Amino acid sequence: MILQRRNRTLRRSAAIRTMVEETVLRPADFIVPMFIIEGENQKEEIPSMPGYYRYTLDLTVEKAKEYYQKGLRSVLLFIKCPDELKDNTGREALNPDGLMQRSIRAIKSAVPELVVMTDVALDPYSSYGHDGIVQDGEIVNDATVEVLAQMAVSHAEAGADFVAPSDMMDGRIGAIREELELAGHTKTGILAYSAKYASCFYGPFRDALDSAPGFGDKKTYQMNPANRIEAIREVLDDVAEGADIVMVKPAIHYLDIIREVKEAVTLPVAAYHVSGEYSMIKAAAANGWLDYRSAVLEATLAIKRAGADLIASYFAPEIMEWI
Ligand code: PBG
């Protein structure tokens, strides 16, 4: 054959392939989720997330230092609230000496350069396991948003760099921004979980925090997996209300959404490679059905290639060892 061009030319050797590589993972792309528990010097493996742990605050601080030394630049904090502190209004979420607020202070003082992001939603604190306040079997929007805005201010006061509302209530980005401004927290960023789907892939996370909904599901606030255009509407609303970063969640099953969101906004786009997506790869690798490292890197690259500027990932600490 006489061909104009042979596309295999650019795949011929490892050096050439590297030269023309379009997508490259770098340490600062990642946000590492961390699960924090009360107590001292303890770690608990999460049964449905093999290789991932809940740590007490002292060990969390050590991990945070280690992550920063390895090149990671950001963590996203979640706490496991003791059952006796849970109620319907999420009062513990506003406790200035609550586990979240203590954790923010401890990490920021040990590793000031590390970007500390915090989950803002009521589910870990809710006796019903829902992201908002429950009235007559419904998750009420406006009363929840009031608490979320106070929660965000409380995290900002403790030193959080970004608050990350993951609740999917309407109007919460605007309300949080306004309360932060009124409280003088003009440097606190908002990473908005803008297109968060009602996904079965959050199951292992709910095991980690013991935060599964006590009744019903989250479909009246999280998005229907069947919808695409709605994701753009959610994202544009959050942009208009003052989000600094918008996020799509889950990631691997929503690569089309990541791409469309990336094309619709001028803000950085994050994607959350969620717990169930982590556990799937772990389980397949444990059975010898997939090569672990190749699967993790291919999946993570796909998320970035789709358009994610930032990736929240349980694989991040391991990926750091490989890239
Ligand atoms: C809570 C929250 C969830 C996740 C992040 N924040 C669970 C949920 O909405 O039920 C899921 C993260 C994961 O699965 O890795 N609002």
- Summarize pLDDT for 264-307 with one digit per residue, the tens: 999 999 999 999 999 999 999 999 999 999 999 999 999 999 99
> Which residues' Cβ are closer than 6 Å to ligand 1?
119, 121, 123, 131, 166-167, 202, 205-206, 218, 274-275
The whole-model pTM stands at 0.97
**Residues recorded for the chain:** 323
Residue 81 pLDDT exceeds 90: yes
Q: What is the pLDDT of residue 250?
A: 98
- Count the neighbouring beta carbons within 10 Å of the beta carbon of residue 38: 14
Q: What is the pLDDT of residue 188?
A: 98
Q: Which pLDDT score, from 0 to 100, does residue 210 have?
A: 87
Active site residue 282: no
CA of 87 to the centre of ligand 1 (A): 19
Place of tokens 């960023």: 189
| Distance from Cα 1 to the centre of ligand 1, integer Å | 55
Q: Residue 155: is its pLDDT beyond 90?
A: yes
Mean pLDDT, rounded, for 78-91: 95
Q: What angle is formed at CA 192 by the lines to CA 28 and CA 313, rounded to 5 degrees?
A: 40
Q: Which atom of ligand 1 is nearest to the CA of 312?
A: 15
Q: Which fold has domain 23-322?
A: TIM Barrel (3.20.20)
Residue of 75, 79, 123, 278 with the most ligand 1 atoms within 8 Å of its CB, for mutation: 123
Residues 6+ apart with CB under 8 A from 310: 29, 30, 31, 74, 245, 268, 269, 270, 271
Ligand 1 pocket mutation, candidates 77, 202, 248, criterion most atoms within 8 A of CB: 202
Question: pLDDT digit string (tens) for 5-44?
Answer: 999 999 999 999 999 999 999 999 999 999 999 999 999 9
| Whether the complex's predicted ipTM surpasses the cut of 0.85 | yes
For residue 131, give the ligand 1 atom closest to its CA: 16
Give me the amino acid identity at 146. Answer: E
Q: What is the reported pLDDT for 22?
A: 98
Structure-token pair, residue 54: 């809940």
* Known active-site residue 218: no
